[in-house]
Chains A and B, each alone.
Chain A
Amino acid sequence: MNVILDIRNLTRTHGQGEQAVHALRGVDLAVPAGELVAVMGPSGSGKSTLLTCAGGLDQPTSGEVLVDGNDLATLSRNAVAALRRRRIGYVFQDFNLIPALTAAENVALPLELDGTRSRTAHKYAEAALAEVAIGDLADRFPDDMSGGQRQRVAIARAIVGERRLLLADEPTGALDSETGEAVLQLLRDRCDQHGIAGVLVTHDARHAAWADRVVYLRDGVLVGQSGPLSDADALLQESH
Protein backbone atom coordinates (compact mmCIF):
# COMPACT_ATOMS: atom_id res chain seq x y z
CA MET A 1 0.00 0.00 0.00
CA ASN A 2 1.49 3.29 -1.12
CA VAL A 3 0.88 5.75 1.70
CA ILE A 4 0.90 9.34 0.42
CA LEU A 5 -0.01 11.13 3.63
CA ASP A 6 1.27 9.69 6.88
CA ILE A 7 0.46 11.58 10.06
CA ARG A 8 1.94 10.14 13.23
CA ASN A 9 1.04 11.18 16.75
CA LEU A 10 0.46 14.74 15.62
CA THR A 11 0.08 17.39 18.29
CA ARG A 12 -0.51 21.08 17.73
CA THR A 13 -0.72 23.46 20.64
CA HIS A 14 -1.34 27.19 20.31
CA GLY A 15 -0.01 29.34 23.13
CA GLN A 16 1.63 28.23 26.35
CA GLY A 17 0.93 27.46 29.98
CA GLU A 18 -2.60 28.00 31.18
CA GLN A 19 -3.50 29.83 27.98
CA ALA A 20 -2.49 26.84 25.83
CA VAL A 21 -5.08 25.61 23.34
CA HIS A 22 -4.61 22.00 22.30
CA ALA A 23 -5.88 21.97 18.73
CA LEU A 24 -4.65 18.43 18.03
CA ARG A 25 -3.70 15.83 20.60
CA GLY A 26 -1.96 12.77 19.21
CA VAL A 27 -3.62 12.20 15.85
CA ASP A 28 -2.62 9.28 13.61
CA LEU A 29 -3.89 9.16 10.05
CA ALA A 30 -2.50 7.34 7.01
CA VAL A 31 -3.99 7.96 3.58
CA PRO A 32 -2.86 5.68 0.74
CA ALA A 33 -2.91 6.59 -2.95
CA GLY A 34 -6.42 6.44 -4.35
CA GLU A 35 -8.21 6.90 -1.04
CA LEU A 36 -10.50 9.79 -0.19
CA VAL A 37 -10.83 10.42 3.55
CA ALA A 38 -13.37 12.82 5.00
CA VAL A 39 -12.71 14.54 8.31
CA MET A 40 -15.76 15.54 10.30
CA GLY A 41 -16.27 17.04 13.73
CA PRO A 42 -17.78 20.02 15.50
CA SER A 43 -16.26 23.46 14.97
CA GLY A 44 -13.10 23.89 16.97
CA SER A 45 -12.39 20.15 16.93
CA GLY A 46 -9.14 20.61 15.00
CA LYS A 47 -10.25 19.69 11.47
CA SER A 48 -8.68 22.65 9.72
CA THR A 49 -5.51 22.50 11.82
CA LEU A 50 -5.11 18.88 10.73
CA LEU A 51 -5.39 19.95 7.12
CA THR A 52 -2.94 22.87 7.38
CA CYS A 53 -0.40 20.63 9.13
CA ALA A 54 -0.86 17.95 6.45
CA GLY A 55 -0.17 20.56 3.78
CA GLY A 56 2.89 22.05 5.44
CA LEU A 57 1.15 25.39 6.03
CA ASP A 58 1.44 24.96 9.78
CA GLN A 59 4.09 23.21 11.91
CA PRO A 60 3.20 20.49 14.40
CA THR A 61 4.15 21.00 18.05
CA SER A 62 5.19 17.34 18.06
CA GLY A 63 4.71 14.27 15.90
CA GLU A 64 5.44 13.68 12.24
CA VAL A 65 3.87 14.53 8.92
CA LEU A 66 5.13 12.61 5.89
CA VAL A 67 4.01 13.54 2.40
CA ASP A 68 4.95 11.12 -0.34
CA GLY A 69 7.69 9.79 1.96
CA ASN A 70 9.12 13.20 2.89
CA ASP A 71 9.16 14.10 6.58
CA LEU A 72 8.19 17.77 6.47
CA ALA A 73 10.09 18.56 9.69
CA THR A 74 13.40 17.50 8.12
CA LEU A 75 12.96 19.67 5.02
CA SER A 76 14.12 23.26 4.67
CA ARG A 77 11.48 25.95 4.29
CA ASN A 78 12.24 26.16 0.60
CA ALA A 79 11.97 22.42 0.19
CA VAL A 80 8.58 22.40 1.94
CA ALA A 81 7.43 25.24 -0.31
CA ALA A 82 8.58 23.31 -3.38
CA LEU A 83 6.76 20.19 -2.19
CA ARG A 84 3.62 22.26 -1.70
CA ARG A 85 3.83 23.62 -5.23
CA ARG A 86 4.54 20.27 -6.88
CA ARG A 87 2.87 17.53 -4.87
CA ILE A 88 0.10 19.09 -2.78
CA GLY A 89 -3.10 20.70 -4.03
CA TYR A 90 -5.46 22.79 -1.92
CA VAL A 91 -9.10 23.58 -2.40
CA PHE A 92 -10.73 26.12 -0.10
CA GLN A 93 -14.33 27.05 0.61
CA ASP A 94 -13.90 30.55 -0.82
CA PHE A 95 -11.90 29.33 -3.87
CA ASN A 96 -8.97 31.77 -3.31
CA LEU A 97 -8.63 32.59 -6.98
CA ILE A 98 -6.80 35.71 -8.10
CA PRO A 99 -9.42 38.01 -9.67
CA ALA A 100 -6.98 39.73 -12.03
CA LEU A 101 -5.96 36.44 -13.67
CA THR A 102 -7.98 34.31 -16.08
CA ALA A 103 -8.95 30.75 -15.20
CA ALA A 104 -5.99 29.36 -17.14
CA GLU A 105 -3.57 31.86 -15.57
CA ASN A 106 -4.82 30.98 -12.09
CA VAL A 107 -4.27 27.30 -12.75
CA ALA A 108 -0.86 27.83 -14.36
CA LEU A 109 0.37 30.02 -11.51
CA PRO A 110 1.78 27.32 -9.16
CA LEU A 111 3.67 25.76 -12.08
CA GLU A 112 5.09 29.09 -13.18
CA LEU A 113 6.13 29.87 -9.60
CA ASP A 114 7.92 26.56 -9.68
CA GLY A 115 9.91 27.61 -12.74
CA THR A 116 7.94 25.90 -15.48
CA ARG A 117 8.05 27.89 -18.72
CA SER A 118 4.91 29.89 -19.31
CA ARG A 119 3.87 28.09 -22.51
CA THR A 120 4.27 24.67 -20.93
CA ALA A 121 2.46 25.78 -17.77
CA HIS A 122 -0.46 27.02 -19.85
CA LYS A 123 -0.65 23.76 -21.73
CA TYR A 124 -0.89 21.88 -18.42
CA ALA A 125 -3.44 24.40 -17.15
CA GLU A 126 -5.69 23.92 -20.15
CA ALA A 127 -5.50 20.15 -19.75
CA ALA A 128 -6.43 20.45 -16.07
CA LEU A 129 -9.37 22.73 -16.89
CA ALA A 130 -10.55 20.27 -19.52
CA GLU A 131 -10.38 17.48 -16.95
CA VAL A 132 -12.78 19.34 -14.68
CA ALA A 133 -15.05 19.98 -17.68
CA ILE A 134 -14.54 23.73 -18.05
CA GLY A 135 -11.96 23.74 -20.84
CA ASP A 136 -14.06 26.32 -22.67
CA LEU A 137 -13.77 28.82 -19.82
CA ALA A 138 -9.96 29.06 -19.84
CA ASP A 139 -9.93 32.76 -20.77
CA ARG A 140 -12.68 33.81 -18.40
CA PHE A 141 -12.01 35.84 -15.25
CA PRO A 142 -13.27 34.51 -11.88
CA ASP A 143 -15.77 37.36 -11.52
CA ASP A 144 -17.50 36.24 -14.70
CA MET A 145 -18.06 32.71 -13.44
CA SER A 146 -20.60 30.97 -11.22
CA GLY A 147 -19.58 29.60 -7.83
CA GLY A 148 -19.49 26.07 -9.17
CA GLN A 149 -17.29 27.10 -12.10
CA ARG A 150 -14.90 28.96 -9.80
CA GLN A 151 -14.60 25.91 -7.57
CA ARG A 152 -13.79 23.84 -10.65
CA VAL A 153 -11.00 26.28 -11.48
CA ALA A 154 -9.72 25.92 -7.91
CA ILE A 155 -9.78 22.14 -8.27
CA ALA A 156 -7.96 22.35 -11.61
CA ARG A 157 -5.30 24.46 -9.88
CA ALA A 158 -5.08 21.84 -7.12
CA ILE A 159 -4.55 18.94 -9.54
CA VAL A 160 -2.41 20.58 -12.23
CA GLY A 161 0.94 18.89 -12.82
CA GLU A 162 1.87 15.84 -10.78
CA ARG A 163 0.06 16.29 -7.50
CA ARG A 164 -0.15 13.34 -5.14
CA LEU A 165 -2.15 14.85 -2.28
CA LEU A 166 -5.35 16.84 -2.55
CA LEU A 167 -6.49 18.73 0.56
CA ALA A 168 -9.93 20.28 0.55
CA ASP A 169 -11.29 22.48 3.34
CA GLU A 170 -15.10 22.77 3.11
CA PRO A 171 -14.89 22.90 -0.71
CA THR A 172 -18.68 22.77 -1.03
CA GLY A 173 -19.44 25.27 1.72
CA ALA A 174 -20.26 28.13 -0.65
CA LEU A 175 -22.12 26.02 -3.22
CA ASP A 176 -25.71 24.84 -3.57
CA SER A 177 -26.21 21.17 -2.90
CA GLU A 178 -26.31 19.99 -6.51
CA THR A 179 -23.15 21.90 -7.47
CA GLY A 180 -21.60 20.61 -4.26
CA GLU A 181 -22.28 17.02 -5.26
CA ALA A 182 -20.65 17.64 -8.64
CA VAL A 183 -17.53 18.88 -6.84
CA LEU A 184 -17.49 15.73 -4.73
CA GLN A 185 -17.83 13.65 -7.89
CA LEU A 186 -14.74 15.41 -9.24
CA LEU A 187 -12.67 14.84 -6.09
CA ARG A 188 -13.81 11.21 -6.06
CA ASP A 189 -12.75 10.72 -9.69
CA ARG A 190 -9.31 12.18 -9.03
CA CYS A 191 -8.74 9.61 -6.30
CA ASP A 192 -10.26 6.69 -8.22
CA GLN A 193 -8.67 7.30 -11.58
CA HIS A 194 -5.45 9.15 -10.85
CA GLY A 195 -4.33 7.56 -7.60
CA ILE A 196 -4.33 10.83 -5.70
CA ALA A 197 -4.75 10.70 -1.93
CA GLY A 198 -7.51 13.06 -0.84
CA VAL A 199 -8.44 14.59 2.50
CA LEU A 200 -11.73 16.43 2.69
CA VAL A 201 -12.79 18.51 5.68
CA THR A 202 -16.55 18.97 5.80
CA HIS A 203 -19.38 19.40 8.29
CA ASP A 204 -21.87 18.01 5.77
CA ALA A 205 -22.57 14.30 6.22
CA ARG A 206 -24.03 14.02 2.73
CA HIS A 207 -20.73 15.17 1.25
CA ALA A 208 -18.55 13.21 3.65
CA ALA A 209 -20.39 10.09 2.50
CA TRP A 210 -18.57 10.29 -0.85
CA ALA A 211 -15.36 9.33 0.93
CA ASP A 212 -13.96 5.83 1.34
CA ARG A 213 -13.46 6.52 5.01
CA VAL A 214 -14.90 9.10 7.38
CA VAL A 215 -12.97 9.98 10.52
CA TYR A 216 -14.46 12.02 13.34
CA LEU A 217 -12.45 14.53 15.38
CA ARG A 218 -13.47 15.89 18.73
CA ASP A 219 -11.33 18.17 20.92
CA GLY A 220 -8.28 17.35 18.81
CA VAL A 221 -8.63 13.57 19.09
CA LEU A 222 -9.89 11.07 16.51
CA VAL A 223 -12.85 9.47 18.24
CA GLY A 224 -14.47 7.46 15.49
CA GLN A 225 -14.21 6.09 12.00
CA SER A 226 -16.62 4.63 9.48
CA GLY A 227 -15.60 2.69 6.43
CA PRO A 228 -13.73 1.63 4.46
CA LEU A 229 -16.67 -0.02 2.73
CA SER A 230 -16.67 -3.77 2.40
CA ASP A 231 -15.87 -3.88 -1.31
CA ALA A 232 -12.81 -1.71 -0.87
CA ASP A 233 -11.63 -4.18 1.77
CA ALA A 234 -12.05 -7.06 -0.64
CA LEU A 235 -10.07 -5.18 -3.30
CA LEU A 236 -7.23 -4.51 -0.88
CA GLN A 237 -7.06 -8.17 0.06
CA GLU A 238 -6.96 -9.19 -3.59
CA SER A 239 -4.04 -6.91 -4.34
CA HIS A 240 -1.93 -8.39 -1.54
Chain B
Amino acid sequence: MSIKHGLLALLREGPKYGYQLRGEFEAATGATWPLNIGQVYTTLTRLERDGLVRAASGEAEADGRSMYEITDAGQDELAKWFETPVTRESRPRDELAIKLALALSVPGVDVSAVVQRQRMATMQSLQELTRLKRGGGEISWLLVLESMIFGAEAEIRWLDHCEAMLLRHRTAGTTRTAGTTPAAATTRVASDQGRTAGVGETSSTTDVPDQQEHHTGAKK
Protein backbone atom coordinates (compact mmCIF):
# COMPACT_ATOMS: atom_id res chain seq x y z
CA MET B 1 0.00 0.00 0.00
CA SER B 2 1.19 3.48 -0.66
CA ILE B 3 0.24 6.88 0.60
CA LYS B 4 -0.59 7.55 -3.03
CA HIS B 5 -3.65 5.32 -3.02
CA GLY B 6 -4.72 6.52 0.38
CA LEU B 7 -4.78 10.11 -0.86
CA LEU B 8 -6.60 9.16 -4.07
CA ALA B 9 -9.23 7.36 -1.98
CA LEU B 10 -9.79 10.43 0.17
CA LEU B 11 -9.94 12.74 -2.87
CA ARG B 12 -12.71 10.64 -4.32
CA GLU B 13 -15.08 12.29 -1.88
CA GLY B 14 -14.27 15.69 -3.37
CA PRO B 15 -11.48 18.29 -3.70
CA LYS B 16 -9.35 18.78 -0.59
CA TYR B 17 -6.39 20.71 0.77
CA GLY B 18 -3.16 18.97 1.76
CA TYR B 19 -3.60 19.52 5.49
CA GLN B 20 -7.13 18.14 5.23
CA LEU B 21 -5.88 15.00 3.53
CA ARG B 22 -3.30 14.49 6.22
CA GLY B 23 -5.89 14.75 8.99
CA GLU B 24 -8.38 12.45 7.28
CA PHE B 25 -5.71 9.88 6.45
CA GLU B 26 -4.69 9.67 10.09
CA ALA B 27 -8.28 9.51 11.29
CA ALA B 28 -9.06 6.65 8.89
CA THR B 29 -6.10 4.57 10.04
CA GLY B 30 -6.46 5.45 13.72
CA ALA B 31 -3.16 7.33 13.67
CA THR B 32 -1.30 4.03 13.24
CA TRP B 33 0.31 5.58 10.22
CA PRO B 34 1.32 9.15 11.02
CA LEU B 35 2.06 11.30 7.98
CA ASN B 36 3.92 14.54 7.94
CA ILE B 37 2.65 17.32 5.74
CA GLY B 38 5.81 17.16 3.62
CA GLN B 39 5.02 13.55 2.63
CA VAL B 40 1.52 14.62 1.65
CA TYR B 41 2.73 17.41 -0.63
CA THR B 42 5.51 15.31 -2.17
CA THR B 43 2.95 12.62 -2.97
CA LEU B 44 0.46 15.14 -4.38
CA THR B 45 3.18 16.61 -6.62
CA ARG B 46 4.00 13.16 -7.96
CA LEU B 47 0.31 12.35 -8.47
CA GLU B 48 -0.12 15.62 -10.36
CA ARG B 49 2.91 14.85 -12.54
CA ASP B 50 1.36 11.47 -13.39
CA GLY B 51 -1.97 13.07 -14.20
CA LEU B 52 -3.85 11.33 -11.40
CA VAL B 53 -4.80 14.56 -9.57
CA ARG B 54 -4.91 18.23 -10.58
CA ALA B 55 -5.16 21.57 -8.89
CA ALA B 56 -8.80 22.43 -8.33
CA SER B 57 -10.25 25.86 -8.69
CA GLY B 58 -10.94 27.54 -5.37
CA GLU B 59 -9.16 29.50 -2.71
CA ALA B 60 -5.50 28.70 -2.11
CA GLU B 61 -4.13 28.03 1.36
CA ALA B 62 -2.15 30.77 3.09
CA ASP B 63 1.09 29.28 1.78
CA GLY B 64 -0.24 29.45 -1.77
CA ARG B 65 -1.06 25.76 -2.09
CA SER B 66 -4.29 24.96 -3.84
CA MET B 67 -6.97 22.36 -3.43
CA TYR B 68 -6.52 19.11 -5.29
CA GLU B 69 -9.06 16.98 -7.09
CA ILE B 70 -8.90 13.50 -8.57
CA THR B 71 -8.78 13.07 -12.37
CA ASP B 72 -10.42 10.32 -14.44
CA ALA B 73 -7.06 8.58 -14.67
CA GLY B 74 -6.85 8.84 -10.89
CA GLN B 75 -10.30 7.22 -10.57
CA ASP B 76 -9.13 4.34 -12.77
CA GLU B 77 -5.93 3.90 -10.75
CA LEU B 78 -7.93 3.83 -7.51
CA ALA B 79 -10.43 1.30 -8.89
CA LYS B 80 -7.54 -0.90 -10.00
CA TRP B 81 -6.01 -0.69 -6.52
CA PHE B 82 -9.21 -1.84 -4.83
CA GLU B 83 -9.51 -4.70 -7.33
CA THR B 84 -5.96 -5.98 -6.82
CA PRO B 85 -5.15 -8.16 -3.79
CA VAL B 86 -2.24 -7.03 -1.66
CA THR B 87 0.87 -9.16 -2.13
CA ARG B 88 2.58 -10.67 0.89
CA GLU B 89 6.05 -9.60 -0.12
CA SER B 90 8.42 -7.48 1.96
CA ARG B 91 6.54 -7.83 5.22
CA PRO B 92 8.19 -6.90 8.52
CA ARG B 93 8.09 -10.53 9.71
CA ASP B 94 10.64 -11.43 7.06
CA GLU B 95 13.33 -9.86 9.18
CA LEU B 96 12.36 -12.19 11.99
CA ALA B 97 12.41 -15.25 9.72
CA ILE B 98 15.84 -14.27 8.44
CA LYS B 99 17.04 -13.65 11.98
CA LEU B 100 15.96 -17.13 13.07
CA ALA B 101 17.48 -18.74 9.99
CA LEU B 102 20.76 -17.00 10.71
CA ALA B 103 20.56 -17.87 14.40
CA LEU B 104 20.47 -21.53 13.37
CA SER B 105 23.50 -21.29 11.14
CA VAL B 106 25.67 -19.05 13.32
CA PRO B 107 27.45 -21.09 16.02
CA GLY B 108 26.92 -20.13 19.65
CA VAL B 109 23.51 -18.50 19.23
CA ASP B 110 20.80 -19.83 21.58
CA VAL B 111 17.93 -20.10 19.10
CA SER B 112 15.37 -21.01 21.78
CA ALA B 113 16.27 -17.85 23.66
CA VAL B 114 15.83 -15.79 20.49
CA VAL B 115 12.40 -17.37 19.96
CA GLN B 116 11.40 -16.83 23.58
CA ARG B 117 12.46 -13.18 23.67
CA GLN B 118 10.58 -12.51 20.46
CA ARG B 119 7.51 -14.30 21.76
CA MET B 120 7.34 -12.15 24.88
CA ALA B 121 7.97 -8.95 22.90
CA THR B 122 5.21 -9.81 20.44
CA MET B 123 2.96 -10.81 23.33
CA GLN B 124 3.51 -7.39 24.89
CA SER B 125 2.45 -5.71 21.62
CA LEU B 126 -0.58 -7.98 21.49
CA GLN B 127 -1.52 -6.94 25.03
CA GLU B 128 -1.19 -3.28 24.12
CA LEU B 129 -3.30 -3.71 20.99
CA THR B 130 -5.94 -5.57 23.01
CA ARG B 131 -6.06 -2.76 25.51
CA LEU B 132 -6.62 -0.29 22.65
CA LYS B 133 -9.39 -2.53 21.34
CA ARG B 134 -11.08 -2.53 24.74
CA GLY B 135 -11.15 1.26 24.49
CA GLY B 136 -13.44 0.98 21.44
CA GLY B 137 -13.76 3.56 18.69
CA GLU B 138 -14.69 4.05 15.05
CA ILE B 139 -15.21 0.89 12.99
CA SER B 140 -12.38 1.86 10.59
CA TRP B 141 -9.98 2.13 13.52
CA LEU B 142 -11.16 -1.18 15.00
CA LEU B 143 -10.59 -2.91 11.65
CA VAL B 144 -7.03 -1.62 11.50
CA LEU B 145 -6.49 -2.71 15.10
CA GLU B 146 -7.84 -6.20 14.43
CA SER B 147 -5.48 -6.50 11.50
CA MET B 148 -2.55 -5.80 13.80
CA ILE B 149 -3.96 -8.17 16.43
CA PHE B 150 -4.27 -10.99 13.90
CA GLY B 151 -0.73 -10.23 12.72
CA ALA B 152 0.74 -10.44 16.23
CA GLU B 153 -1.29 -13.55 17.00
CA ALA B 154 -0.04 -15.25 13.83
CA GLU B 155 3.52 -14.34 14.66
CA ILE B 156 3.22 -15.96 18.09
CA ARG B 157 1.72 -19.09 16.57
CA TRP B 158 4.50 -19.19 14.04
CA LEU B 159 7.08 -18.88 16.85
CA ASP B 160 5.40 -21.79 18.69
CA HIS B 161 5.59 -23.77 15.49
CA CYS B 162 9.29 -22.95 15.01
CA GLU B 163 10.00 -24.05 18.55
CA ALA B 164 8.19 -27.35 18.07
CA MET B 165 10.02 -27.90 14.80
CA LEU B 166 13.37 -27.22 16.41
CA LEU B 167 12.56 -29.64 19.21
CA ARG B 168 11.58 -32.43 16.81
CA HIS B 169 14.61 -31.66 14.75
CA ARG B 170 16.91 -31.94 17.75
CA THR B 171 15.33 -35.17 18.99
CA ALA B 172 15.45 -36.67 15.51
CA GLY B 173 19.13 -37.47 16.06
CA THR B 174 18.67 -39.02 19.50
CA THR B 175 15.57 -41.08 18.70
CA ARG B 176 17.57 -42.74 15.98
CA THR B 177 20.07 -44.07 18.48
CA ALA B 178 17.25 -45.00 20.85
CA GLY B 179 16.09 -47.50 18.29
CA THR B 180 13.28 -45.91 16.26
CA THR B 181 13.53 -45.63 12.53
CA PRO B 182 15.73 -42.72 11.54
CA ALA B 183 14.21 -42.44 8.12
CA ALA B 184 10.73 -41.69 9.47
CA ALA B 185 12.00 -39.06 11.88
CA THR B 186 14.15 -37.34 9.30
CA THR B 187 11.43 -37.41 6.67
CA ARG B 188 8.97 -35.86 9.07
CA VAL B 189 11.33 -32.99 9.87
CA ALA B 190 12.18 -32.49 6.24
CA SER B 191 8.56 -32.39 5.12
CA ASP B 192 7.66 -29.89 7.84
CA GLN B 193 10.49 -27.73 6.72
CA GLY B 194 9.31 -27.97 3.16
CA ARG B 195 6.00 -26.44 4.17
CA THR B 196 7.56 -23.49 5.94
CA ALA B 197 9.98 -21.66 3.73
CA GLY B 198 13.23 -20.20 4.95
CA VAL B 199 13.98 -21.09 8.54
CA GLY B 200 13.90 -24.86 8.31
CA GLU B 201 15.93 -25.10 5.16
CA THR B 202 19.06 -23.76 6.72
CA SER B 203 18.92 -26.33 9.48
CA SER B 204 18.16 -29.25 7.22
CA THR B 205 21.26 -28.66 5.19
CA THR B 206 23.53 -28.25 8.17
CA ASP B 207 22.33 -29.99 11.31
CA VAL B 208 20.57 -33.16 10.25
CA PRO B 209 23.49 -34.93 8.54
CA ASP B 210 25.71 -33.71 11.33
CA GLN B 211 23.53 -35.30 14.01
CA GLN B 212 23.26 -38.56 12.17
CA GLU B 213 27.01 -38.90 12.05
CA HIS B 214 27.87 -37.87 15.57
CA HIS B 215 25.01 -39.09 17.72
CA THR B 216 25.51 -42.77 17.03
CA GLY B 217 25.69 -44.56 20.32
CA ALA B 218 25.58 -41.34 22.28
CA LYS B 219 22.64 -42.53 24.37
CA LYS B 220 21.98 -46.05 25.49
| A interface residue numbers (CB < 8 A to B) | 40, 42, 185, 188, 205-206, 208-212, 214, 216, 223-227, 229, 231
Contacts and interface: CB of A to CB of B under 8 A. Distances in A.
Contacts of A205: 123, 126, 152-153, 156-157
A80 B208 CA distance: 52
Contacts of B130: 206, 209-210
B208 to A, nearest CB: 23
Interface string B115-132: 011011101101111110
A227 B127 contact: yes
A121 B157 CA distance: 44
Nearest to B117: A224
B201 to A, nearest CB: 24
Given A205-B152, A205-B156, A214 B123 contact: yes
B116 A216 contact: yes
B131 A42 contact: no
A44 B127 CA distance: 24
B116 A223 contact: yes
Nearest to A212: B127
A226 B124 contact: yes
Q: 9 closest A-B pairs (Cβ-Cβ)?
A: A226-B124, A209-B130, A209-B126, A226-B123, A205-B156, A226-B120, A224-B120, A209-B127, A206-B153
Given A42-B160, A229-B131, A206 B126 contact: yes
Contact of B149 (A185, A206, A225, A226): A206
A224 B126 contact: no
Given A42-B160, A205-B152, A224 B127 contact: no
Chain B residues touching A, majority SS: helix
Given A205-B152, A206-B153, A227-B124, A216 B119 contact: yes
Contacts of B164: 42
6 contacts: A205-B153, A205-B157, A208-B126, A209-B123, A223-B116, A227-B123
Contacts of A206: 126, 130, 149, 153
Given A205-B126, A205-B152, A205-B157, A226 B121 contact: yes
Given A216-B116, A223-B116, A224-B116, A208 B123 contact: yes
A42 B131 CA distance: 25
Contacts of A225: 120
Contacts of B157: 205
Nearest to A204: B153
Interface string B95-133: 000000000000000000000110111011011111100
Chain A residues touching B, majority SS: mixed
Given A209-B126, A229-B127, A216 B120 contact: yes
A205 to B, nearest CB: 4
Given A205-B157, A212-B127, 15 more contacts: A185-B134, A188-B134, A205-B152, A205-B153, A205-B156, A209-B123, A209-B149, A216-B116, A216-B119, A224-B116, A224-B117, A224-B120, A225-B120, A227-B123, A229-B127
Nearest to B129: A209
Nearest to A213: B127
Contacts of A40: 123
Contacts of A214: 120, 123, 127
A224 B128 contact: no
Nearest to A205: B156
Interface string B123-166: 11011111100100000000000000100110011001001100
A56 B123 CA distance: 29
A208 B120 CA distance: 12
Contacts of A227: 123-124, 127
A42 B127 CA distance: 19
Contacts of B116: 216, 223-224
A231 B131 CA distance: 10
B119 A211 contact: no
Contacts of A185: 134
Nearest to B126: A209
Interface in B167-184: none
A91 to B, nearest CB: 19
A196 to B, nearest CB: 18
